[in-house]
């Protein structure tokens, strides 16, 4: 097995639209030595996103590219891709990025875009997942780190975590408990890529079990 210190760090670009709590979990994991990676840049489509402040506090370069300045999705995605390429990331990390990416964008970064979704995929794709889980009478709910493909929330799963739905649960209490799991499994999934325990090839997740010492 290859010692961790001899492995190159994964280069990441993180895309956000809001508060950036999942971004913060990645920053904390890197600073704590739990994630062998470097966040090269944080990009946002929202200039007021608090996640930009989190990045600045950590000394990470930021960039704002507002979708409102573009006539269509493809033009926006083309410029976004150019800015991302400048930082030469190994992976793009979607952390609350509230934009559906075009097919051309996904193809350009094939096998390199990760997302975290607040549900146990393939259940509850899309939005409002916590209330939908409650309305469906589910006994458990959770979060999924998955590979982004051209179909919404449809790529193969890297890692999942579940929580039991409690008596008297509300969508907000469930959201908070699931969010804690998101903060745990997102850096953990990326670390598996960093150590080589997991690889992504041709849209498939390959477990190599090649963990570092």
How far is residue 175's CA from residue 192's CA, in Å, rounded to a whole number? 25
What tokens appear for 120 in the block? Answer: 């146990």
How far is residue 38's CA from residue 27's CA, in Å, rounded to a whole number? 9
C-alpha Rg value of the chain to the nearest Å:
17
Cα dihedral 86, 83, 103, 117 in deg (nearest 10): 100
Peptide bond into 122 cis (omega under 30): yes
5 part of the active site: no
Catalytic site residue from 117, 130, 141, 146 = 117
Q: Which is it for the CA torsion 137, 139, 144, 149, positive or negative?
A: negative
Residues 85-91: contacts with CB under 8 Å, at least 24 apart: 87/11, 87/13, 87/40, 87/41, 87/61, 88/11, 88/40, 89/11, 89/12, 89/13, 89/40, 89/41, 90/10, 90/11, 90/12, 91/10, 91/11, 91/12, 91/13, 91/190, 91/193
Q: Which are the catalytic amino acids?
A: 117
């Amino acid at each position: 097995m290859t010692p961790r210190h001899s492995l190159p760090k994964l280069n990441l670009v993180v895309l956000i639209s809001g508060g950036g709590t999942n971004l913060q979990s990645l920053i904390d994991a890197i600073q704590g030595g739990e994630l062998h990676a470097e966040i090269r840049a944080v990009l946002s489509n929202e200039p007021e996103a608090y996640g930009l402040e989190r990045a600045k506090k950590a000394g990470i370069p930021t960039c704002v590219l507002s979708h409102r300045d573009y006539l269509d999705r493809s033009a926006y995605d083309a410029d976004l891709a150019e800015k991302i390429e400048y930082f030469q990331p190994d992976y793009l990390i979607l952390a609350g990025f509230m934009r559906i990416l075009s097919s051309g964008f996904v193809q350009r970064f094939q096998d390199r875009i990760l997302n975290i979704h607040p549900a146990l995929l393939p259940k509850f794709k899309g939005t409002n997942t916590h209330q939908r889980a409650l309305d469906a009478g589910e006994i458990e709910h959770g979060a999924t780190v998955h590979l982004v493909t051209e179909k919404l929330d449809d790529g193969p799963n890297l890692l999942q975590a579940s929580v039991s739905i409690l008596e008297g649960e509300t969508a907000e209490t469930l959201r908070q408990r699931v969010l804690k799991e998101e903060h745990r499994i997102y850096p953990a999934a990326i670390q598996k890529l960093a150590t080589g325990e997991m690889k992504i090839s041709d849209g498939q997740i390959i477990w190599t079990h090649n963990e570092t010492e």
